[in-house]
Structure 1
Amino acid sequence: MIRPYQPQDKEALLEVFKLNTPKYFDESEINDFENYLREKPDTYLSIEVDNNIVGGTGYYVNPNDKSGRVTWIFFDPKYSKQGLGKQSVEYCLNVLSQDCRVEKFIVTTSQLASKFFEKFGYRTTRIEKNYWGEGLDLYEMEMPNDKISKSN
């Protein structure tokens, strides 16, 4: 189940985040994630299976570059390959595509998740080595908001 983040979800999400460190996230990123939850809690989603939080994802609009962004997506490794990531991204893209300010979608990820985002139509626009931490390269990816693009 995908539902809005609630403050009491924080500890469970931090535990799941740690299960993805250091493979997908550098240890230094946990502070950035906590800041995101504090500053933009209304844009984060908790993902539950059998009433247990197994992951989460965020989304927000950046009006400066007219983009909708999917961010901080991660899951307990025990739940990988079950379609939760796909469902989460589709949920976020659906919400963001309805916002008339969003002309494109952007995701900043690593080489480890770039192929996952390519399945949705994202294309790599920039790569920066060791951006997130040693061995975790930045892959900035983008795709048009077809709902907006077709109406322009």
Structure 2
Amino acid sequence: MIRPYIPEDKESLLKIFKLNIPKYFDTNELNDFKEYLEKKSNTYLTIELDSKIVGGTGYYVNGNDKSGRITWIFFDPNYSGQGLGKQSVEYCLKLLREDSRVEKFIVTTSQLAYKFFEKFGYEIIRVEKNYWGKGLDLYEMEKINK
């Protein structure tokens, strides 16, 4: 189940986020994620499976470049391979398509996940070494809103 984030989800999501350090996130990103939850919690979604929080994802519209963005997508590693990522991205894309300001979709990810986003039609537009932290490169990806 994908549902809107509520403040009571915070501790569970932080625990799951930490399970993804250092493989998918750098330690310094934890504070950035906390700040996102404090400032943009209305654009964050909690993912549950069997009434247990197993991950989350965010989405927002950047009016400056007319983009819809998916951000902070992660899951408890014990639940990988169950299609939750695919469901989450499809859900976010559906919400973003409904916003008439969105002309393109952008995601910023790493070398560990860019192939996942290619499956949705995203294409790499920029790569920057060690952007997120040592050994975690930025892959900025984009696709047109059709």
TM-score between both structures, scaled by the size of structure 1: 0.96
The residue matched to 1:39 in structure 2 has which SS? helix
The aligned counterpart of 1:13 is 13
Equivalent position amino acid for 1:123 in 2: E
- Structure 1 runs of 4+ with >2 Å offset: none
**Equivalent position amino acid for 2:108 in 1:** T
The answer as to 2:22 corresponding to 1:22 is: yes
- The answer as to 2:132 corresponding to 1:132 is yes
| Aligned equivalents of 1:7, 1:52: Cα separation in 2 | 15
Task: Please tell me the root mean square deviation across aligned C-alpha atoms, in Å.
Answer: 0.3
* Alignment of 1:104 onto 2:104: yes
After TM superposition, list the pairs within 5 Å mapping 1:35-50 onto structure 2: 35-50=35-50
Aligned to 1:116, what secondary structure does the other structure show?
Answer: helix
Partner of 2:90: 90
Name structure 1 gaps, 5 residues minimum.
147-152
2:55 alignment partner, SS class: strand
Matched to 2:25, the amino acid is F
Percent identity, aligned pairs only? 75
Kindly state the Cα deviation for residue 51 of structure 1 after the two structures are TM-superposed.
1.1
State the SS of the aligned residue for 1:102.
Answer: coil
Q: Which amino acid aligns with 1:52?
A: K
Residue 53 of structure 2 is aligned to residue 53 of structure 1:
yes
1:119-138: CA deviation from partner (whole Å, max 9, x where unpaired): 00000000000000000000
Superimposed CA distance per residue, residues 52-80 of structure 1 (whole angstroms, 9 cap, x where no aligned partner): 10000000000000000000000000110
* Correspondence for 1:122: 122
In structure 2, runs of 5+ residues without a counterpart are none
Opposite residue 63 of structure 1, the aligned amino acid is G
Displacement of 1:98 after TM fit? 1.0
